[in-house]
Amino acid sequence: MTAAADRVILVTGGGRGIGRAIALAFSSPGHAVAVNYRNDHDAASETVEQIRRHGAAAESFQADVADLEQVRTMIDAVVSRFGRIDVLVNNAGGNRDGFLAMMSLDDWNSVIDVNLKGVFHCCKAVVRLMMAERRGTIVNVSSLSGITGLPGQTNYAAAKGGVNAFTRALAQELAPFGIRVNAVAPGLVESDAASAMPKDHRDRLLANIPLRRLGKPEEVASIVRFLASDDASYITGEIIKVTGGI
């Protein structure tokens, strides 16, 4: 049994992409990182292995954030394993893009469930622990889409816009308890989703990015790590765009 961690971080959707980069950003010695995943156990295991190689403790925890009971069970398991949760990073999310005229109710519901209700579920499940300890911080991974809206993403934009408003409201609720709540809003970032995008669509988007390139997952992760750190001790209720200038 290793010594108790200085800081315990839970990253939802930590197996791949931005979530993995965020989990790795917290992988310094003394930290314990709980890596949540829904389906891809192998990816989560790989993230855990990489974190351990950097000297932090790590373990993967399966749960669908869209399901409150699964989230509660996961939080209990994380606390049982690492003793507490100091940092919650709500990263789990997903798209089902399509024009509203062609969007099924299932496309709408599933995107709202994972992106917006998932954030509610995870915050709901950890917030009492943090309030009781008078410490903790939450960082939500939102999206530029939730600020500007993007065609084909009414469901995703509504969910992420909801996350932004949720972040601001919860920050005010939890400020008296010394708990900070912030969000990052990435633009177009190198990821599985970006790779799957048709080239012409991707080129059109690139032309609108002042820095003329996609972001790297690590460039989002570093802002998440900053917001979760004491360096950001006077920042709460903030949505920081990480968009290459959009």
Partner 1 sequence: MDEMKRKIREILSVRLKLAAAVEKICDDTPLFGPDSLGLDSIDALELVLGLQKEFGVVIEDRTVAVKVLASIDTIAEYVESQGKG
Which residues are the active-site residues?
156
Q: Which of 1, 3, 80, 102 binds partner 1 (CB under 8 A)?
A: 102
> Which residues are CB-contacts of 102 (< 8 A; sequence separation ≥ 6)?
none
How far apart (Å, rounded) are the C-alpha atoms in residues 130 and 175?
12
Q: How far apart are CA 188 and CA 229, in angstroms?
A: 25
Q: Which of 39, 104, 229, 233 binds partner 1 (CB under 8 A)?
A: 104
Interacting stretch for partner 1, rule CB under 8 A, among 32-40, 102-110, 153-161, 180-188?
102-110
Joined tokens for residue 134: 């008078």
C-alpha distances out from residue 134 to 33, 129, 130, 147, 210, Å = 20, 9, 6, 31, 41
CB of 190 vs partner 1, minimal distance in Å: 22
For the CB of residue 154, give the shortest distance to partner 1 in the complex, in Å: 13
Query: Nearest distance from residue 104's CB to partner 1, in Å?
Result: 6
Check if the beta carbon of residue 76 is closer than 8 Å to that of residue 126: no
Least distance from C-beta 112 to partner 1, angstroms? 18
The residue from 94, 149, 152, 178 that contacts partner 1 (CB under 8 A) is 152
8 A C-beta contact, residue 140 and residue 183: yes
- Kindly tell me which of 103 and 112 has the beta carbon lying closer to partner 1: 103
Q: Considering the rule CB under 8 A, would residue 208 count as an interface residue with partner 1?
A: no
Q: Is 101 in the site for partner 1 (CB under 8 A)?
A: yes
The nearer residue to partner 1, 104 or 172, going by C-beta atoms, is 104
CA 183 to the chain's CA centroid:
9
- Rounded Cα gap, residues 56 and 58, in angstroms: 6
C-alpha to C-alpha distance for 24 and 21, rounded to whole angstroms: 5
1 forms part of the interface with partner 1 (CB under 8 A): no
Q: Which is nearer to partner 1, 54 or 202 (CB)?
A: 202
Using CB under 8 A, pick the residue from 39, 99, 132, 212 that binds partner 1.
Answer: 99
Residues in contact with partner 1 by the rule CB under 8 A: 98-99, 101-102, 104, 107, 152, 198, 200
